[in-house]
């Protein structure tokens, strides 16, 4: 579950700040700053949407250098579909932070989340950045996690600690996201901080593997955002020997990062807009992992499946239909389906336990397993049910 304690463990050498800029409306802190006291190795992954927000375009260029010191982030405005002015505003936000801190402009990254198509309110943001920088160290990572929320109902923080190479390594991650969630990578921002010393290429590969097995395997509503960003900063403050790809230390660090991002992705799904149930869809024994993933997403994205789960209706025919149109190899007579431990389909035929299955769907955590008996491909995708509240939340998003 989310960590709300003010004592959340953070890696050595990071400072935080959060202020109110009234980006969308007053009454909450909505502008935050993450700062590494040492130059940090950095890696990132970004939305695959062809429509990308100005901050995404800017950061995709900056990340090629593989290093940085600071991330400024706002909620309430996505700075997407804002034309040339939007890019100028993103660049100015970085420059203002850099000027106040006395560091290079290209050491500052910027992220935004919120309403698409609305110009950034720079008249409110510009004068408060000095205050944001001046207050570094006065806020916690919990404050940053709260400041980046949009329709989230709780802040999302996960911490992992592990002794690697004789030194205790800490990895702390935060993210936001509750709707417009569909790989790659969902409408989410995530910032992962570590005091590990690690090579740039190793850091990038570890992040790619972690994201592909976590954030890229969740879906809430099938919509992909313009702003999705995951950034990781590794400042080496733990004093360990530099982690290199292929080493035992790399495997230990990579595994820790994968567990952290998976748990963050679980929090996103549990906070799905209007959701009442957490759903895990597992495809077993598909011909390939790729086919298993396609099948799992077909089920997880099906509005008919999601509404049936909400209505406690074990209508397994909707699962079979979704598999059928997914485009994967499927032999109906070999397919078994289990819902919360109860086998409702064996060899493509009903087992006659639909009434019992309906009762199991009343639970808050739902596990659907489809065994195709065709190969060794296995994938888990996380999703949630679809309710009337999802419609209401998104109908009123801009008001």
Tokens 């149930």, located at residue: 277
Cβ burial of 162 (10 Å; 0-12, 13-18, 19+) is middle
**Which residue pairs, CB below 8 angstroms and at least 24 apart, start in 58-64?**
58/87, 58/90, 58/91, 58/94, 58/109, 58/110, 59/109, 59/110, 59/111, 59/229, 59/231, 62/106, 62/109, 63/109, 63/231
Element (H, E) at 327: none
Q: How far, in Å, are 35, 82, 135, 226, 270 from residue 78 at the CA level?
A: 22, 9, 24, 8, 23
pLDDT at 114 exceeding the cut of 80: yes
pLDDT tens sequence across 235-285: 999 999 999 999 999 999 999 999 999 999 989 888 877 788 999 999 999
Are 125 and 93 in contact, with CB atoms under 8 Å apart? yes
pLDDT of residue 254: 98
Q: Are strands 278-286 and 229-234 parallel, antiparallel or unpaired?
A: unpaired
Measure the CA–CA gap between 193 and 144, rounded to whole angstroms: 13
Give mean pLDDT, residues 128-140. Answer: 97
pLDDT of residue 221: 59
Domains of the chain: 14-270 (3.60.70.12), 278-395 (3.10.20.340)
- By percentage, how much of the chain surpasses pLDDT 70? 93
Q: How far, in Å, are 138, 239, 259, 276, 369 from residue 2 at the CA level?
A: 22, 29, 15, 17, 27
Measure the CA–CA gap between 391 and 372, rounded to whole angstroms: 34
pLDDT at 126 exceeding the cut of 70: yes
pLDDT at 179 exceeding the cut of 90: no
68 closest CA partner among 14, 137, 133, 21: 14
pLDDT band at 351 (very low <50, low <70, confident <90, very high): very high
Tokens of 268: 């996103």
pLDDT tens sequence across 94-112: 999 999 999 999 999 999 9
Give mean pLDDT, residues 174-190. Answer: 67
Tokens 């994938």, located at residue: 379
Measure the CA–CA gap between 73 and 109, rounded to whole angstroms: 8
Measure the CA–CA gap between 7 and 71, rounded to whole angstroms: 22
pLDDT band at 220 (very low <50, low <70, confident <90, very high): low
pLDDT of residue 272: 73
pLDDT at 28 exceeding the cut of 50: yes
pLDDT of residue 237: 98
Tokens of 58: 């800017």
pLDDT of residue 398: 59
pLDDT at 184 exceeding the cut of 60: no
pLDDT band at 152 (very low <50, low <70, confident <90, very high): confident
Lowest mean pLDDT among 59-68, 186-195, 235-244: 186-195
Catalytic annotation present for 153: no
Helices (H) and strands (E) in the chain, counts: 12, 14
220 closest CA partner among 363, 75, 339, 386: 386
pLDDT of residue 105: 96
Catalytic hit among 47, 172, 187, 219: 187
Give mean pLDDT, residues 219-232. Answer: 78
275 closest CA partner among 340, 216, 221, 214: 221
Tokens 């953070």, located at residue: 10
pLDDT band at 303 (very low <50, low <70, confident <90, very high): very high
Give mean pLDDT, residues 68-95. Answer: 97
pLDDT of residue 1: 36
pLDDT at 5 exceeding the cut of 80: no
pLDDT at 365 exceeding the cut of 80: yes
pLDDT of residue 386: 86
Are 261 and 215 in contact, with CB atoms under 8 Å apart? yes
Tokens of 194: 């570590």
Lowest mean pLDDT among 150-164, 166-180, 356-370: 166-180
pLDDT of residue 170: 98
Lowest mean pLDDT among 215-224, 286-295, 313-322, 378-387: 215-224
pLDDT of residue 318: 96
pLDDT of residue 367: 98
Instruction: Write out the E strands in 166-266.
Output: 167-176, 189-194, 229-234
Helix, strand, coil percent values for the chain (each to nearest 5): 35, 30, 35
Q: How far, in Å, are 56, 77, 130 from residue 30 at the CA level?
A: 19, 10, 15
The distance between the two most distant Cα atoms of the chain, rounded to a whole number of Å, is 70
pLDDT at 3 exceeding the cut of 60: no
pLDDT at 161 exceeding the cut of 70: yes
With the CA atoms of 203, 208, 211 and 217 taken in that order, what torsion angle do they form, in degrees rounded to the nearest 10? Answer: -160
């Amino acid at each position: 579950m989310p960590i709300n304690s003010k004592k959340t463990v953070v890696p050595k050498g990071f400072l935080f700040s959060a202020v109110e800029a009234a980006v969308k409306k007053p009454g909450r802190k909505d502008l935050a700053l993450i700062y590494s006291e040492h130059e940090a190795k950095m890696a990132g992954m970004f939305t695959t949407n062809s429509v990308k927000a100005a901050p995404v375009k800017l950061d995709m260029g900056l990340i090629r250098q593989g290093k940085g010191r600071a991330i400024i982030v706002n909620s309430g405005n996505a700075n997407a579909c804002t034309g040339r002015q939007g890019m100028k505003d993103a660049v100015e936000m970085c420059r203002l932070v850099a000027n106040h801190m006395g560091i290079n402009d290209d050491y500052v990254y910027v992220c935004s989340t919120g309403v698409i198509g609305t110009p950034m309110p720079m008249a409110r943001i510009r004068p408060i950045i000095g205050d944001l920088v001046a207050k570094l160290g006065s806020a916690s990572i919990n404050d940053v996690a709260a400041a980046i929320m949009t329709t989230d109902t709780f802040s999302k923080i996960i911490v992992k600690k592990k002794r690697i190479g004789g030194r205790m390594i800490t990895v702390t991650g935060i993210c936001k996201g509750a709707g417009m969630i569909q790989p790659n990578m969902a409408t989410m921002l995530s910032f992962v901080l570590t005091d590990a010393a690690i090579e740039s290429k190793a850091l990038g590969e570890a992040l790619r593997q972690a994201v592909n097995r976590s954030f890229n395997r969740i879906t809430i509503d099938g919509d992909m955002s313009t702003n999705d960003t995951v950034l990781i900063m590794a400042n080496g403050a733990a004093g360990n020997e530099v982690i290199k790809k292929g080493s035992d230390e790399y495997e230990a660090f990579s595994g820790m990062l994968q567990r952290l991002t998976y748990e963050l992705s679980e929090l996103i799904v549990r906070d799905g807009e209007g959701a009442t149930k957490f759903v895990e869809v597992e495809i077993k024994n598909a011909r390939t992992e790729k086919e298993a993933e396609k099948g799992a997403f077909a089920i997880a994205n099906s509005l008919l499946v999601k509404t049936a789960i909400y209505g406690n209706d074990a209508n397994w025919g909707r699962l079979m239909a979704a598999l059928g149109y997914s485009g994967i190899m499927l032999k109906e007579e070999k397919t078994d389906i289990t819902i919360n431990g109860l086998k409702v389909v064996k060899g493509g035929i009903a087992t006659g336990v639909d009434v019992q299955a309906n009762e199991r769907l009343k639970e808050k955590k739902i596990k659907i397993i489809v065994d195709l008996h065709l190969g060794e491909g296995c994938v888990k995708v996380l999703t949630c049910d679809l309710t009337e509240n999802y419609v209401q939340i998104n109908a009123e998003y801009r008001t």
